[in-house]
Amino acid sequence: MFIGEERRYQVFVSSTFRDLTEERQKVLQAVLEANAFPAGMELFPSADDEQWEFIKGEIKSSDYYMVIVAGKYGSMAEDGVSYTEKEYDYAVGLGKPVLGFLFKDLGELKGSRLEEDAGRREKLRAFRDKVSANKLVKFYSNADELKSQALLALTTSFQRKPQTGWVRATQARRAEDLEELNQLKTQLIAAREEIAKLKATQEDARHLLAQGEERVTWRVKLNEVIDELRAGLGGPGFDPPVEYLEPNLSWEEVFKAVFAGRNASVTQVQVRKQLRMTVAQLTPTGGGERWDDWLRVVSKFNFEVGIDWDSLESMLRDIRIQFLGLGYITISQDEGHQGKTSYIPGVERWTLTPRGVAYAAKLFGKLRPPEPASGS
């Protein structure tokens, strides 16, 4: 052990989060190897004003404060100061021993690990200068070097600036309680990091997917509306005006087509019907009684005609995965679809999520009238 068995310390680790995932993991390992308790953003990776009081409590209960600063300033509070800098200022104000670690050469950082906005870069520069003024600051070049520096700084601080820590006495927790607490914190760190990674992955996926006014094109084969469907009405079947159609739609138009009935939940049967109707409206017009006119008639009865089944299913699969990826829908199995002419058990149902409902409200809702110009 680096310190006596009778005393163990809590160390608050502060930094931006997503750009320093590896660095934070290395530092947390150093804290644990120093036989101390880590605390930090793993408990609350999305810092905001509501959590600030809790964060301050964690810093206040910690014996040492450690800050890592690289190329990002981090999310800012309403006062325009990043939460990382607010944590640093609060720890300094409490007189906590502060251990600062700055990335040595910002020129080596690329892409999302650097601030793009000039104002935020200036705030970052001022914050780095502030941390640099601390005599215990160290400069690192990679995560492994940071871990070594952190471990050395911790053991030195424990020896030269011992704090209250956790002690084994009648007023303190038993040693086995502390061990259990340390294990729970380690598990919580791992769980919080995994959640943060999954959340980041989901957000990144949404950002990459086409949406809104961005467009998609399918190649759809059109079939004859066969005369058997008209047997009771008389007259021949109708050939499509073209063999193939390539509908080019924005994802906003696709969403409006699928949820045209303003329902928050639709079955795949209803989706196929809406897709057939949409394709019919996009076909070139013909003379006399047209193929697309008749397709609209038979589509009301959910007959699978006019559009090649494989083409229709290809459209449906693409839309399904796109809406799932954008977080617009959830999928469930319907107990059954009751219609005027059919009963289809086990139909898949698409239900709008809160995100999907918000998007539908934006597309279908009644917007407020513009405010009159001043002076009018």
Residue 261 within any structural domain of the chain: yes
Confidence of residue 4 (pLDDT cuts 50, 70, 90): very low
* Side chain identity, residue 88: Y
Strand 329-333 and strand 348-352: pairing?
antiparallel
Give me the mean pLDDT over the 273-301 stretch. Answer: 71
- What CATH number does residue 133 fall under? 3.40.50.10140
Specify the 3-state DSSP secondary structure of 219.
Answer: coil
Residues 352 and 223 in one domain: yes
Residue 372 within any structural domain of the chain: no
Q: CB-based burial of residue 53 (10 Å sphere; 0-12 exposed, 13-18 middle, 19+ buried)?
A: exposed
pLDDT of residue 320: 92
Residues 243 and 179 in one domain: no
Name the domain boundary from 188, 207, 226: 207
Structural domain of 61 = 7-207
Residue 374 within any structural domain of the chain: no
Residue 22 within any structural domain of the chain: yes
Q: CA 70 to CA 312: how far, in whole Å? A: 51
pLDDT at 184 over 70: yes
Q: Which of 29-38, 153-162, 182-191, 248-257 is the least confident region?
A: 182-191
Name the domain boundary from 190, 207, 224: 207
Residues 203 and 221 in one domain: no
pLDDT at 355 over 60: yes
State phi, psi for 247 to the nearest 5 degrees.
-65, 130
Instruction: Give the percent of the chain with pLDDT over 90.
Output: 35
Residues 66 and 105 in one domain: yes
Residues 66 and 203 in one domain: yes
pLDDT at 273 over 90: no
Give me the mean pLDDT over the 304-318 stretch. Answer: 86
Instruction: Give the percent of the chain with pLDDT over 70.
Output: 74
Task: Give the predicted TM-score (pTM) of the model.
Answer: 0.47
Q: Which of 25-29, 49-53, 85-89, 191-195 is the least confident region?
A: 191-195
Residues 164 and 223 in one domain: no
DSSP H helices in the chain: 21-33, 52-61, 83-94, 118-132, 143-160, 175-208, 251-258, 268-282, 291-299, 309-325, 354-364
Residue 164 within any structural domain of the chain: yes
Residue 95 within any structural domain of the chain: yes
Tally of domains in the chain: 2
Q: Which residue has the higher pLDDT, 257 or 345?
A: 257
pLDDT of residue 337: 45
pLDDT of residue 43: 55
Largest CA distance in the chain: 99
Residues 201 and 284 in one domain: no
Give me the mean pLDDT over the 344-348 stretch. Answer: 63
Residues 178 and 84 in one domain: yes
Q: CA 290 to CA 282: how far, in whole Å? A: 13
* Side chain identity, residue 365: G
pLDDT of residue 30: 93
The tokens describing 306, both together, are 């006019």
pLDDT of residue 47: 56
Q: Which residue has the higher pLDDT, 287 or 12?
A: 12
Residues 66 and 186 in one domain: yes
Give me the mean pLDDT over the 41-68 stretch. Answer: 78
Q: Which of 110-119, 164-173, 282-291, 364-373 has the highest mean pLDDT?
A: 110-119
Residue 254 within any structural domain of the chain: yes
Neighbours of 9 (CB within 10 A): 22
Strand 220-221 and strand 138-140: pairing?
unpaired
Give me the mean pLDDT over the 30-43 stretch. Answer: 82
pLDDT of residue 250: 94
pLDDT at 316 over 80: yes
Residue 104 within any structural domain of the chain: yes
Give me the mean pLDDT over the 203-213 stretch. Answer: 76
Instruction: Quote the mean pLDDT of the chain.
Output: 80
Confidence of residue 1 (pLDDT cuts 50, 70, 90): very low
Residues 80 and 184 in one domain: yes
Q: Which residue has the higher pLDDT, 5 or 240?
A: 240
Residues 158 and 52 in one domain: yes
DSSP secondary structure string for all residues of 102-168 = EES-GGG--GGGS--SHHHHHHHHHHHHHHHTSTT-EEESSHHHHHHHHHHHHHHHHHHS----EE-
DSSP-derived letter for residue 327 is T
pLDDT of residue 141: 93
Site of tokens 């009018």? 376
Residues 139 and 228 in one domain: no
Name the domain boundary from 207, 228, 257: 207
pLDDT of residue 286: 55
pLDDT at 203 over 90: no
